[in-house]
Every structure is written in C-alpha cells, then in structure tokens.
Amino acid sequence: MRFGLVGTGFWARTAHATALAQVPGISLAAVWGRNPQAAASLAADFGATAYRDVGAFIDAVDAVAFAVPPDVQAPIAIQAAEAGKHLLLEKPIATSTAEADKMAAAAESAGATGNSLFVWGEAGRSAMPATQVDAVPALRTAASELAAAAAAGRSRHPCDVQFGRDVVRVLAAAQAQVDAARPGLDDPPRL
C-alpha cells in the first residue's frame, strides 16, 4: 500500500514517516506539506516524492496519513476520502462538528477507514500521557490495521472516522457546557 504523509514537522518525521517506513507491505511514497522545502527534505530522507499540489499528491497514493493540526487535516482528508483514499487521521479529526460530519460522510461514501493517535486543542498537541511514549509502535500498528482492513475490503473499524466524528461531538458538547458555566470568560478584563 502506497502511503502519502501530510505534514513535515517533528512528529511527521520522527513518528509517522518512521512508522510507515517500518511496516511490511507499506511504502511511504509521497509527502505534502505547507512548506515545500520541508516536504522535499522529508521525502528525500525516506525515498518518497515531495508534492506541491495536494490533488497530485492524493492521486499518487492509496492511503494518506496526517501529522498536522485538525484545521489543516480536515479539508485535505475530505478531499482524499472523496478520491477513495484510506485515511490515517489524528484526533480530533476536525475543529468543528460540521467539518467532522463532512469528513465522516466522505469516508463513509468512499468506504475508507480512519485511525488516529493525537489530541489537539487551542494550546496545541496534548501532552497526555504525561510520560514519554514511543509513538512509532502505535503508528506501525495503526498503519498495519488500516492496510489489513483495506486489503480485506473492510471499511469499518472501532477507531474509524465515525468514532473520530463522535469524539469531536463530545468535545464540542463539553466546550459548550464550559462556556455556559463561565459566561464572559473570553471577554477582556475591565479596568
């Protein structure tokens, strides 16, 4: 299975690309990032091709792994799902329930599966768990699960995009409750 990697940062390089390169039957074939020089560097280090055009990037692969924040991930994941690509997503899968619903619908329509490992928020990536964890084994497992499901023609998985959509819904509901309990929290201080 030919994977494309969206993202070029530290986590994309040290965890995602490394894990994808270690899974039998998977090749890291393409890299796309917002920084074309970083995409070229990462691609060169892993024997992949760097793409500047997202559409051409998606066309070149069977599956897309994401190592970017959810606001960057969502529109590209929707485009990839609509093109029939398998998705290896980070969670939350989107920053709004509307985007999460669009992504789940696109994946459902295309029959694609999805998995993820990370939690993002306004402050960035979650530090949980608090101890250092080697993410490469988990990513290898996620990529292997995705490849096996795709090979078997299965489009559902306990950690698929529908689960990711439900996580976004729970987070949105929790945020709404916090906002309702703390009116004016985001208002500037009055002097």
Give domain limits for the chain. 2-125+132-181
Q: Which of 6-10, 111-115, 167-171, 187-191 has the highest mean pLDDT?
A: 6-10
The size of the chain, in residues, is 191
**Residue percentage of the chain with pLDDT more than 70:** 83
Backbone phi, then psi, for 118, in 5-degree steps? -115, 150
Compare 121 and 168 and report the one with higher pLDDT. 168
Is the confidence at residue 3, as pLDDT, over 90?
yes
- Residue 124 pLDDT level (bands cut at 50, 70, 90): low
Alpha-carbon Rg for the chain in angstroms: 17
**Would you state the pLDDT for residue 187?**
54
Does the annotation mark 85 as catalytic?
no
Is the confidence at residue 5, as pLDDT, over 60?
yes
Q: Which tens digits make up the pLDDT trace of 62-105?
A: 999 999 998 999 999 999 999 999 999 887 888 888 988 898 88
- Residue 170 pLDDT level (bands cut at 50, 70, 90): confident
CATH architecture of the domain with range 2-125+132-181: 3-Layer(aba) Sandwich (3.40)
Q: Which of 16, 85, 86, 91 is catalytic?
A: 91
- Residue 186 pLDDT level (bands cut at 50, 70, 90): low
What residues form DSSP beta bridges with 114?
none
**Would you state the pLDDT for residue 121?**
52
User: What are the C-alpha distances in Å from 46 to residues 22, 38, 70, 145?
Assistant: 11, 13, 24, 22
